Amino acid sequence: MVIATGAVTNLFGNSEIEKHAFGLKTVGEFLDLRNHIFTDFEKALQTVNYDDRQALIDIVIVGGGPTGVEMAGALAEMRKYIIPKDYRELNHQEVDIYLIQGGGNLLQGMDDSLGDAFVEYLRKMDVKVLLNARVDQIPEDHVVTADGQKIVAGKVVWTVGVTCEIAEGFEREKFYGRGNRLRVNAFNQLTEDNFIFALGDAAMMESENMQYGHPQVTQPAIQQAKNLARNLRKSQGD
């Protein structure tokens, strides 16, 4: 049996997040965000008031994991290369991109040097990286951090993390780790004496460099699936 049930965005029971923030867990959520970004850029071209224009073009990303870091970099490249060509009347330097991380480093769970390198890289791309900052509220057109800082932005992207559903029949303390992920060995196997496997978001394969398991993004899931397929064929003498 192979468990590959994926994960859902972790909203921590906060209704404001669900109502006002964009997720990035599904293709539909990504397309919705993309459409809002370009629609607001069009509106900004007709907006004279500076504060109103900033609310349309500024973007806040909450969560400094792999998804948040990748999104921040992609938006920074869009600001540098796409906006000057496609929205010539819009001053691309006015577009502020914030990446807010609750911890003291990006990409937590990976080597600290990697997180430090990405902080430096993103800041060179003029991304405003805020570390040790926790988002307390997400009203309609801004976010408020726990220390009272208000950041005006009409689009908040929530990439703090995901969580998995608990499957019946597996003891929680024995089989589950952080984010309700199933602990697996190097072969994606729950225990060595059975043929139950977990892949992708649902699997937490701990290692020295990945203490919380591999990032819950597409490539690790694809690689785990291919590796498991090879191992299963070999176990049958193929």
- For 122-131, write each residue's pLDDT tens digit: 999 999 999 9
Number of domains comprising the chain? 2
- For 124-156, write each residue's pLDDT tens digit: 999 999 999 998 888 878 899 988 999 999 899
CATH of the domain at 34: 3.50.50.100
CB contact set of 20 (below 8 Å; sequence gap of 6+): 138, 139, 140, 156
Band (pLDDT 50/70/90 cuts) for residue 13 is low
- For 88-134, write each residue's pLDDT tens digit: 999 999 999 999 999 999 998 788 898 999 999 999 999 999 999 99
The tokens for 173 are: 């303390």
**CA–CA separation, 116 and 207 (whole Å):** 20
Confidence check: pLDDT of 81 > 90: yes
Task: Clarify whether residues 138 and 223 are in a common domain.
Answer: no
Task: Clarify whether residues 150 and 229 are in a common domain.
Answer: no
Confidence check: pLDDT of 238 > 70: no
Which amino acid is present at 68? G
Confidence check: pLDDT of 12 > 70: yes
